[in-house]
Every structure is written in structure tokens, then in C-alpha cells.
Amino acid sequence: MNQPATVSEQFDAVVVGAGFSGLYMLRRLRQLGMSVRVFESADDVGGTWYWNRYPGARCDIPTTDYAYSFDPELEEAWTWSEKYATQPEILDYLRFVADRYGLRSDVEFSTAVASASWDEQEGRWRITTDRGDEVSCRYFIMASGCLSVPKSPDIEGADRFEGQVYFTSRWPHEGVDFTGQRVAVIGTGSSGIQSIPLIARQASQLTVFQRTPNFSIPAHNGPASADRLTQLAEDREGYRHAARWSRGGAPGELTDILGITASGEVRRQRFEAAWEQGELFGILGVFADQLVNPASNDIVAGMIREKIRSTVNDPGTAEALSPKDHYFGTKRPCLDTGYFETYNLPHVRLVDLRTQPITTVTRTGIDTASESFDFDAIVYATGFDAMTGALAAVDATGRDGASLNEKWAAGPSTYLGLMTAGFPNLFMITGPGSPSVLSNMTVSIEQHVDWIADCLAHMTAESLDTIEPTALAESGWGQHVRDCGAITLYPTANSWYMGANVPGKPRVFLPYVGGVNAYRQACDDVVSRGYLGFRMTGQGGERCRDGVIRSMQPDVAMVLEIMAGMGLPPLETLPVADARAFMAATAAVRPPAPEVGEVTDGVMRGPGGDLPYRLYRPAEPGGPHPVVVYFHGGGWVLGDLDSDDPLCRDLCARSGVVIVSVNYRHAPEARFPAAALDAFAAVQWVAANAASLGAIPGQVAVAGWSAGANIAAVACQLARDAGGPAISGQLLISPVVDSDMTRPSYAENGDGYVLTTALMRWFWDHYADPADRGDPRVAAIRGDLHGLPPACIVTADFDPLRDEGLAYARALKAAGTPAGHIRARGHTHTSLTMVGVVISGAPVRAEIAEALRGLVGPVAAAADALTESAAAG
């Protein structure tokens, strides 16, 4: 053991922890020529793999991938013996690494950091330890692990038991012999599931206390996968590169097969293949949609439950072991060796705490609501204060005496999971807000360590010595992390990913679920944009490019990426007929749209001939319902009843109103003002025929998207001028209301977000002569805006039309017309309409439907229902 550091020793960097992350961080910092002290509370290196010595402890990522990749010679020098290495072998590996690079000399073992505070004057951190050290450092790096602080046993009477007590996370080094003992295991997470079969081999009686059944699949451990070994042997660098740019941190095929649309045969074949393979990323990726679509998830979950039933002999026990309270994958699934089979042994019993909860631990055992058990030993496999526990334990004091724990009282807030505002020069390795526990940790650790080291090298080169994220960058990243989580099923589970396992811990989805690849790209983009969102200071001056690195909804970004990859010709380069055919072909491959009560097609009279319409009636019993006349988008040129069918269904199902979608005449065959006149005629017809359509007379609203919103807005002006019909409200989704293309949103969003400036020009050219483009019947914003129906205007952030929508809302208000605004944050012009594809659009459409309900009432009520919002600002 080393001697304690002398008081007030100064280091360039202090690192907390000597596990996978601390060891590699130390090596990188040394390579930068920095003086470093690592504090490690254990008496050896290893971190997680030092402490978790329970029987059966193994990694759950194949060891070919669960290893450092920074040094090819290290990779050559070490050979793993199994597909999933045991804890002793992984610990040996980390010792081997520490020795190979001579890392131990900078590690002070058996020493925990007690406090850390930022000294503003000095621009340094002051660190104290539980052994009385006091040191200072420029950079303070928490390499303290995501699963390193065990959860204290929150079970009544836990300290009363007089037999042996063990924690899987603090297992005795000499091992434990349970031969002939009556043993209780509490907890069926990975630690419980890995250790139970081995404890059962020794114990005379084993009773497992299960609060929540967990999904587990057989690890099929054995030799490392020949396939992976061959790939590594042939092209190690290529293999590691693929891992770094994969979703989870290990190379593998991503499927685009959807569970909901796959045939029964394909479902079965894919599931069985993943089951046989015995890898987490395999079973989590049977279908592309299984972590976002409940129906798809149920298919996989159902097949796993089937396996449990076919393995466990006693049907009651099998049922109790079958997880039903969370979607598969939303709690970390386990890899096991003979776990479910263990319950077939005569001396093993499962106690389901859902039916008989523990009332107390006693001197001699455990009492449940209905039974008393006596034991010789109790094993707690009850988990960790994950991701934030070790950071909270130090409770760093940042600028102005601020406490990290106070700052994070409602949940952690970080920029990239690397740093947090107010705590300069404090880095976290795999902190909350980074992929960390959802990924192959070793790959994520290396990426964080490399990023930090490169950042410090940059700062040194530029004579900068403090770095801190801005509040804007941090809140933007937090929003992005939440957006990524929100489109998945993860937040629905009571998991440690959500902090739900620790009583009183805030419920926040802690890791970043956007993928290792997307995350790495974001970190790289931050750097290439001049360390966007970081403020750096020092002799070299003060540098800060403030901003948000990701503000688009993640699924919208994904759709754009897929579209870009398809290399489609821009619509405006096609003849109109081809553009229409393309739109129809796209519409044909959309996922099923929401069910409504009834859909009927009909025809109404218009000024230039018959206008086809489609009526959507809500499933709600009763009626008649209020009615909304809807106009589809497509720049007055494209689109029809089919193009906007999913959006109409969605609006109908959500808002409970009748929607009459009208197919007006299109340009270039029928140019301005044909579409607008048709829209007005359609409103007149629906108002006159409301009763026969099964709608409430006198409660007609209009709605439209894009150019459809244009003619809806114009129809309102025409109806006012004509003295009727009365329109109760207008819902304008991303409307065209002006021909002015100089507003900033055109410059910001005119290229790359589907609706481009070039396409908009093409639409205008087909619809209206330049001389007509200021006419209020197409540039609605230039008309008289007094006395119009209350409006709700929806704008999307990444839409060239955003600013004219906002301007219209402002102008309506200025003219005394009530106008609410819904901002589709992170959306494009088209993404809201991608029902069933862009999941993040659903909550916005729910908001729109709510507003629509307000717009269809009597006029005064509609005005009241509108929310005042950002449109005014």
C-alpha cells in the first residue's frame, strides 16, 4: 500500500477510481505529460471487477468486445478463455494492464475521496480523502463507475439477522462455502440470476425472494465466438472501428425488420436465432421496433415467457418467474447459465414477494406476510444506486459553494454526460446523459477518456486552463437525452435506468439511448464546432461558442438520414406527373394508420366541377360530432385524399370530431385561385350539409397542413367577406401564408429538411403568377385579419415556413383575432404528418387535437380554449 500523499501536494489531475476507466484515463494523462494521482478505495485495481466477486459473476458482453482496444499490442498479449469471462479473469486482465503500463505507482489504494471543492481564486480543485490527504489539482476526473455504490438494504429488520449476511457487490475475497446451509437470496437482477444456480449447488436449501421477475436468456457460454475471433484476426482495426461506430458498442447487424409486420415464421426464426446466440444486443435487436413499439415488444417477451414455461416444471413457479410488469429490455435483461432450471431442484424454492411481501428480517430468518423462514445465511443481490451514486458520494462543491447534490436534486443535468455547469474542470467518465450502461462499457469508457484527454491537450496547446459547459448547452443536451428516451419504452419501467430502485431518487431516464455512434458523432461535432457549448478560459483568453448541439427530434433526424441515403432526386426536378407518382408510391408503404369509427368517400359540388371528399367519423358513440373541413398539403400541386389520410385519421381519433378531407383542384392544371375557391366552396357545402353528414350544424371549423392550411386560412377570409358560413375556428399546421421567402427560417431551413426553398419556388411557379403572389387569396397575411375565426397555428422548428406561421399568429392577434400557437419542437415541415413513423410527433399531434376540440365549439368557447403562447413573443 502506498503512503498517503503529503498535505497540499499539487497535481495536474486527480482521478477517482482505478477500474476500466480510471486506469485508461491515467495512461492518457501521463501521455500528456501531466502529474496524476488516482485515489482508489479498494486495495487493488479493478473497480466493479474488484468488488463483485459473487459466484457466477461474469461480464454480459462477449469478452472479445469487453476489452480495451487502445493498444493493438495489448490485444495481442491477452487471450480470453471464454465467450463471457468470469470475474477473476477480468480482474486478472485489469491487473495485467496496470502492470504492463506501470500504472500502480500513481494510484493511492485504500483511499476514498471525502470531499472536493473548487477554489475559484486558484482555479484548482481541493481534494480531501478519508485518510487525511489534502491535495489540489487542476482537473478532477470522476472515473468512479456506474454501478459502484451498493443500494443499502431497504428492508425492515435487515440489521437484526444473526446468521451470515453477504452482499453480491461486496463478496468476501476468500469466497463462501454454503455447503449444508439454508440460504436466502434477495433480488433477481443480474447478480442474483448469475449466482443463484451456483449457490444452489452447495446449499442444502435455497429460497429466492423475488420482487420482480426478470427476463433472462441463456448465455450459452463456452469458447469465444469463432466468427468474432476470425474477424478480429483478419482486420482488428476495422473490427474495433465498427464497434466504435455501432449502436451498442459491439459490431453486429442491425435489422430493419419490424416485429409488427413480420410473418409468424420470420418472427420465430429471428427469435430462435437470437436465443441460440446468447447475446444481449442480439436478443434486444430481434426486431427494429421492439424497444419503441409495445406490440412488437410483446412478441419477443411472449416468446421468452414461453421458454420459461417450457423450462420450469412447476406451472405456478413458471408463472411467477415470467416477467409481465415491464417491456422486455426496459430493465437490463440477464444472461444466465441454468437459472430457470435451478427451480426444478427439490431444495430450491421461489418466494414471490408480490403475493407474500417481506414483513421483516428476524434474528433467525425472514418473515413474509404469510410465512416464517429460518436461514443460516442471507445474500443481498439488491443492486446499486446506479450512475449517480458514486458522484453523489463525493458531493463536489463547485463555483460559489454550490453543491452537486443540490444542483441535481431533481435529477442529474450534464452536458454530454461529461461535465456539468458550475463545476469547472470536473469531468465524469460515462456520466448520466451518456450511453454508458446501455452500451458496451469498455467502448464508451475509451471514447470518454479519449475525448477528455484530447480536450485537455487542446486546452494546453491554447494556453487555456478552465473549461465548463454553458447553461444553454447543458439544458439543450438534457432535452435531447429526454427526447431520445421519450420515443422508446424505457421510461415506462421501474428500472435503475430510471432511478426507480432507490427510494426517494428522482425518476429521470439516466443514460443516453440514442446510440454509441450517434453519441460519438455529437461529441465529435462539439469539437469540430469549436467546443460548442463550452466556455474555456486561461492565459489564451476566453473562448465560448454557445449553442445546442442537437435540437432535432432523434427520430426525425433518423428519417432524414434514411432519406438522404436513398439518394432520391429532388421533387422539383421531376415532371409533375412523376412527382405525384412518387408521392403515391411513398404513401403505399406507410405503416397502418389509426383506426377510426367510419371512413366514407363522397363527392361534393365545387365551382369547377365535382370535388371528391373523404369523411372520417370518430369511434366514440353518440354524435352528431362537430365537423372540421380539412385540406391536404402538397404545395397546391401534389397530394390527395390518400396523402393526408394518416393525419386525418389521427386527428379524428384523437379529437373525436368528424373530419371531411377535401380534394381540391391542383396546379398547374388549375392555377390560382382555383384551390382557394374550392376550399371556400367546400366549407359552404359542409356547413349546408352538416346534418346529413352526421355533424352538428353551426359548428364547422377548418384545418389544413402546408398549402392546405393556406387555402383554409383564405377560406376563413372569404367566408367573413361573404357574410358566412360561420366558421368556429381554423387549425393551420405549418401554413403557407406569404410569398415572401426572405424570412430567416428560409435561410436557416431552406435546404436539407425535405421542404426546401427550391421546392417551394417550384410550387409557387406552378400555382400563381408572380403578379398574383401578393393577393390575400394566396398571401393570407396580407389580407384584412379582423373578425376572423380563432386560429391555432402550428409551426415546426426546422421548417422554412416557420417564421411566416409565427408572423401570421402575431398579425391575427394584432388585428384582434384570437390566435394560439403550438411549437413542434425539433420537427420539420413534414415530420408531424408521418403518423406511425415519427414517434415524437405523437405528443404534438395530441396537443393539436386538444386545440382542435377547442376550435370546433361555438365561436366564443373556441376563443377561450386557445392558449396564449410563444406566438406572441
**Nearest-approach distance from CB 343 to ligand NA7, in angstroms:** 15
In the complex with ligand NA7, the residue whose CB is nearer, 192 or 708, is 192
In the complex with ligand NA7, the residue whose CB is nearer, 192 or 635, is 192
**Nearest-approach distance from CB 155 to ligand NA7, in angstroms:** 5
What is each CA distance from 44 to 40, 446, 493, 653, in whole angstroms?
A: 8, 21, 36, 61
727: how many CB neighbours lie within 10 A of its CB?
24
Asked if residue 645 lies in contact with residue 678, where contact means CB atoms within 8 angstroms, the answer is no
Measured CA to CA, the distance from residue 93 to residue 104 in angstroms comes to: 14
Quick one: cell of 25?
A: 484515463
**Nearest-approach distance from CB 332 to ligand NA7, in angstroms:** 4
In the complex with ligand NA7, the residue whose CB is nearer, 171 or 613, is 171
In the complex with ligand NA7, the residue whose CB is nearer, 325 or 669, is 325
In the complex with ligand NA7, the residue whose CB is nearer, 56 or 189, is 189
Query: Closest residue to ligand NA7, Cβ-based?
Result: 189
Residue with cell 503512503: 3
| Count of residues in the chain | 873
**Nearest-approach distance from CB 212 to ligand NA7, in angstroms:** 3
**Nearest-approach distance from CB 778 to ligand NA7, in angstroms:** 59
In the complex with ligand NA7, the residue whose CB is nearer, 383 or 417, is 383
**Nearest-approach distance from CB 373 to ligand NA7, in angstroms:** 14
Reported for 574-583, long-range contacts at CB under 8 A and 24+ positions apart, including other chains, are: 576/637, 576/668, 576/766, 579/637, 579/638, 580/638, 583/634, 583/638, 583/639, 583/643
What is each CA distance from 687 to 230, 519, 858, in whole angstroms?
A: 72, 52, 14
In the complex with ligand NA7, the residue whose CB is nearer, 147 or 637, is 147
**Nearest-approach distance from CB 495 to ligand NA7, in angstroms:** 8
Find the Cα–Cα–Cα–Cα dihedral 466, 471, 474, 475, rounded to 10°.
Answer: 180
In the complex with ligand NA7, the residue whose CB is nearer, 185 or 657, is 185
Instruction: Annotate 719-748 with DSSP letters as a single string.
Output: HHHHT------EEEES----S---SHHHHH
Contacts of 822 (CB under 8 A, 6+ apart): 792, 793, 794, 795, 844, 847, 848, 851, 869
Contacts of 780 (CB under 8 A, 6+ apart): 710, 713, 714, 717, 735, 737, 738, 808
Asked if residue 147 lies in contact with residue 437, where contact means CB atoms within 8 angstroms, the answer is yes
In the complex with ligand NA7, the residue whose CB is nearer, 187 or 433, is 187
H helix intervals, 333-486: 339-342, 389-394, 404-407, 441-461, 471-486
Instruction: Annotate 733-787 with DSSP letters as a single string.
Output: ES----S---SHHHHHHSSSSSS-HHHHHHHHHHH--GGGTTSTTTSGGGS--TT
- How would you classify the pairing of strands 348-352 and 205-210? parallel
**Nearest-approach distance from CB 515 to ligand NA7, in angstroms:** 18
**Nearest-approach distance from CB 94 to ligand NA7, in angstroms:** 16
Closest CA to 448 of 21, 782, 133: 21
**Nearest-approach distance from CB 91 to ligand NA7, in angstroms:** 15
**Nearest-approach distance from CB 186 to ligand NA7, in angstroms:** 5
In the complex with ligand NA7, the residue whose CB is nearer, 430 or 466, is 430
Point out which residues bind ligand NA7 (CB under 6 A).
147, 154-155, 168, 186-192, 211-212, 332, 353, 381-384, 496, 501
Residues 806-820, buried b or exposed e (16+ Cβ, 10 A)?
bbbbbbbbeeebbbb
Measured CA to CA, the distance from residue 353 to residue 351 in angstroms comes to: 6
In the complex with ligand NA7, the residue whose CB is nearer, 188 or 739, is 188
In the complex with ligand NA7, the residue whose CB is nearer, 147 or 200, is 147
**Nearest-approach distance from CB 568 to ligand NA7, in angstroms:** 42
**Nearest-approach distance from CB 90 to ligand NA7, in angstroms:** 12
In the complex with ligand NA7, the residue whose CB is nearer, 168 or 434, is 168
Quick one: cell of 683?
A: 366549407
Instruction: Annotate 161-179 with DSSP letters as a single string.
Output: --SEEEEGGG--TT----T
Measured CA to CA, the distance from residue 441 to residue 266 in angstroms comes to: 31
In the complex with ligand NA7, the residue whose CB is nearer, 194 or 745, is 194
Measured CA to CA, the distance from residue 789 to residue 124 in angstroms comes to: 62
**Nearest-approach distance from CB 154 to ligand NA7, in angstroms:** 5
